[in-house]
Structure 1
Amino acid sequence: MQGSPAWVYAIGFLAQAFFSARLLYQWIVTEKAKKVLSPAAFWVLSIFGSYLLFIYGVLRNDFAIILGQFISYYIYLWNLDLKGLWKGLPFALKSILLLTPLAATFFLMRDIPAFAAAFFQNKNVPFWLLVFGSVGQVLFTFRFIYQWIYSTHRRESALPIGFWVISLLGSASIIAYGIFRLDPVLILGQSFGFVAYIRNIMIDYSNKKHISDEE
């Protein structure tokens, strides 16, 4: 597994466990309600998973992972605020959550030549593969940008059907990247989501069809 210590992979698998747990929980409450829901626990688990996966990306010298997590992480926090949970957190915890990704990024980029050598000239990650992985992460992350725009207009945290469609496309790209990278964390973590993404699309379509038939 390309030379990383077992404890590094343990961090990555723990991060993916949080991501899988968020999908599982969201899937369960959605099945019960028979409509796609955006529960607060989904965003709490997302933050835990993203925090750990960001660390994993740093330890693996994987710019593609870091890029994707940096963008989505703050959208998770925004949804947490929309759910009314952010205000109740202690100031110290808020500060840690807000500043840790920024501090880690600043630490990595304090020496630009060394940063470029570690991330863009990594012998384990050819440049074409870095570009491919980064495009996949950007596509996968775009689902949360889309979700943020959609929720902003509705003034509530929601997970629209477009979110799940983009999730499918982005996840497929990341799995392909993980196969090239021989990264079990990315392959296993993304594979679980496929079923949940497809099921949410089916439930959303069924719910909208039911509403349309009633009208």
Structure 2
Amino acid sequence: MNCQYHGVWLTEPHRVLGLDWSYLTLLGLVGAIAFSMRFILQWVHSERAGKSVIPVSFWYWSIGGSLIMLAYFIFQRDPVGVLAYLPNSAIYLRNLYLIRKDRQAGVA
């Protein structure tokens, strides 16, 4: 399979429910939904706690959604999207590291 055919397979529209979809469009949609899930989780956890909280799962959804969106923008060859999502996962991983470090210090 050559690269030209591979690119057509990803971007060729498929008609579903009267809309033109491509596998690349679906990838972007999955990424956007995954990235948005973090706010739904944060909202639910805050409502349950009765105050504003950011659960650890927020950061995992952030990483997953960000990496999917990064892949989407790479396939789209969109430099603005790539630059917007490229550093995000490093920041989210750093937050997870700080949370883990804080929890270990609390146990010791």
Higher RCO (C-alpha 8 Å, min separation 6): 1
RMSD (CA atoms): 1.7
Cα distance in structure 1, aligned partners of 2:107 and 2:39: 27
Q: Could you tell me the TM-score, scaled by structure 1's length? A: 0.40
For the Cα contact (< 8 Å) 1:168–1:194, is it kept in 2? yes
Amino acid at match of 1:187: V
Number of the residue aligned with 1:88: none
Number of the residue aligned with 2:67: 172
Q: Could you tell me the TM-score, scaled by structure 2's length? A: 0.76
Number of the residue aligned with 1:63: none
Number of the residue aligned with 1:127: 22
Amino acid at match of 2:50: R
For the Cα contact (< 8 Å) 1:140–1:166, is it kept in 2? yes
Return the structure number with greater strand share.
2
Cα distance in structure 1, aligned partners of 2:48 and 2:63: 24
For the Cα contact (< 8 Å) 1:161–1:200, is it kept in 2? no
Amino acid at match of 1:179: I
Shift, 1:199, TM fit: 0.7
Which of residues 195, 200, 205 in structure 1 aligns to 2:90?
Answer: 195
Structure 1 unmatched ranges of 5 or more:
1-115
Return the structure number with greater helix share.
1
Matched positions, count = 92
- Identical-pair percentage: 32
Alignment of 1:154-165 (within 5 A): 154-165=49-60
